[in-house]
Amino acid sequence: MVHFHHGHHGYGSLSASLNVAYGVAMALNLCFVAAETAAGFLFDSTGLLSDAGHKLTDVFSLVIALVAFRLAKSPSDVRFTYGYRKTSVLMSFFNACLLLAAVCVIVAESIKKIGEPAEINGAAVSWTAGAGILVSGASAFVLMRSRSRDINTKAAFLHMAADALVSVGVVLSGIIISVTGLSVIDPVISLVIAAVILFNTVKLLSESVRMLIDAVPDGVDYDGIRKMIAGYPGVESVSDLRIWPVSVVETALTAHLEIAEDAAPETVASGLHQALKDAGMDIVTLECKRKNIVR
C-alpha cells in the first residue's frame, strides 16, 4: 500500500497584490461613504443614504475578506490540523448575513419614505451618485485580477461592480426628479438597490453554506475528476473520492486507488498528483493498493 500526500499553498503570488488591492478599495470606499452620507442627510435623499449604506457594508466586506484571507494562511498545529483556514468560509457567511441586515434597513426606510416623500434636490443626487460610479468602478478594477481564486475577493469584486450599476440608477433617479419633481422616485430607487444587494447576497450565502458543509466547490467537476483518475494509466479503479474546500482558496481531495499489477504505485500516484494539481486540487491524498492484494 502506498500513501501519497501533497499540500500546495496558493497564497504566495496573491498576498502582495491582494494587500494593495484591498487597501486601495477600502480607502476609496470609506472616503466616499463619508461624503455620500453627508450629502444624503443634507439633501434628505434616501437613495443616497441607501447607496452609502450599501458601500459601507462593502467596506466591512473588504475588511472581513482581508482578515479571512490572512486566517486562511494560518499554519496547522496539533489541535487545528488545517490551521484556521476554515474561518475564511465563516467570514464569507458572516459577510452575507451582514448584507441581509442592510437590505432589511434599506427596505424599511424606503417604504417609510414612499408614504411620506420629501422634496429632493435631483441635481445634487445625480452628481453625488456620479462620483460613486467612479469610486466603485476603480475599486472593482483593482480587485478584478484576484477575484478568480478567492470567494471573498470574488464577492467583493461583484459588490463593487454592482455598486457601479446601482449608482447609475441613482444618477438617473436624480435626473428624473430634477425634470419631473417626483421625489417618490428616490425611495423607489432605494428598493431597487435593495433588490440588487439581495440578489448578490443570496448567491454569496448559498455558496458560503455549501462550503461550510464541505460540498464540492463551485467550478469543480466531480464526475470529470473521477473519470480523469479512473482513466489514468495504471489505475484500475477509484473509490471513496472526496473533494471539499479547506478554505476559500484551497480545495482538498482524497481517494482510494486500485493499481494494476504491472504498474508502480509510486509512479502512478506521483503523476496523478500533478494532473490533479493542474485540475485545481491544492491538497491531495491518495491511498494506492495493487489489484492483487486482498483488502
Where are the domains positioned within the chain?
Answer: 11-212, 222-290
Residue holding cell 424606503? 110
Q: Could you report the per-residue pLDDT of 184-224, keeping only the tens digit for each?
A: 787 787 788 788 778 878 887 888 888 888 898 888 889 99
pTM, entire model: 0.65
CA 161 to chain CA centroid, Å, is 13
* pLDDT for residue 241 is more than 80: yes
User: Taking a C-beta distance cutoff of 8 angstroms, is the pair 152, 69 a contact?
Assistant: yes
All cell numbers assigned to 169? 440608477
Average pLDDT over every residue of 90-102:
80
Q: Supply the DSSP string of the chain, one letter for each residue.
A: -EEEEEE----HHHHHHHHHHHHHHHHHHHHHHHHHHHHHHHHT-HHHHHHHHHHHHHHHHHHHHHHHHHHHTPPP-SS-TTTTTTHHHHHHHHHHHHHHHHHHHHHHHHHHHHHS-----HHHHHHHHHHHHHHHHHHHHHHHTTTTT-HHHHHHHHHHHHHHHHHHHHHHHHHHHHHH--TTHHHHHHHHHHHHHHHHHHHHHHHHHHHHTTPPPTT--HHHHHHHHHTSTTEEEEEEEEEEESSSS-EEEEEEEEE-TTS-HHHHHHHHHHHHHHTT-SEEEEEEEETTS--
Domain made up of 11-212: CATH architecture: Up-down Bundle (1.20)
Give the whole-angstrom CA distance, residue 168 versus residue 34: 19
Q: Which phi and psi (to 5°) does residue 174 adopt? A: -65, -40
| Least confident range of 10-14, 159-163, 189-193, 251-255 | 10-14
**67 vs 23, higher pLDDT:** 23
Q: Could you report the per-residue pLDDT of 124-140, keeping only the tens digit for each?
A: 778 887 888 888 888 77
259 pairs with which residues across the strands?
A: 235, 290
Give the whole-angstrom CA distance, residue 18 versus residue 249: 13
Give the whole-angstrom CA distance, residue 11 versus residue 75: 12
Tell me the pLDDT band of 55, cut-offs 50, 70 and 90: confident
Position 8 scores a pLDDT of 44
- The distance in angstroms from the start CA to the end CA of the chain is 10
Using DSSP bridges, classify how beta strands 235-245 and 283-290 pair: parallel, antiparallel or unpaired.
unpaired
Position 145 scores a pLDDT of 63
Give the whole-angstrom CA distance, residue 81 versus residue 185: 54
Tell me the pLDDT band of 6, cut-offs 50, 70 and 90: very low
* pLDDT for residue 294 is more than 50: no
Position 243 scores a pLDDT of 92
Position 118 scores a pLDDT of 63
Give the whole-angstrom CA distance, residue 246 versus residue 134: 36
Q: Identify the CATH assignment for 222-290 out of 3.30.70.1350, 3.60.20.10, 3.40.50.620, 3.90.1150.10.
A: 3.30.70.1350
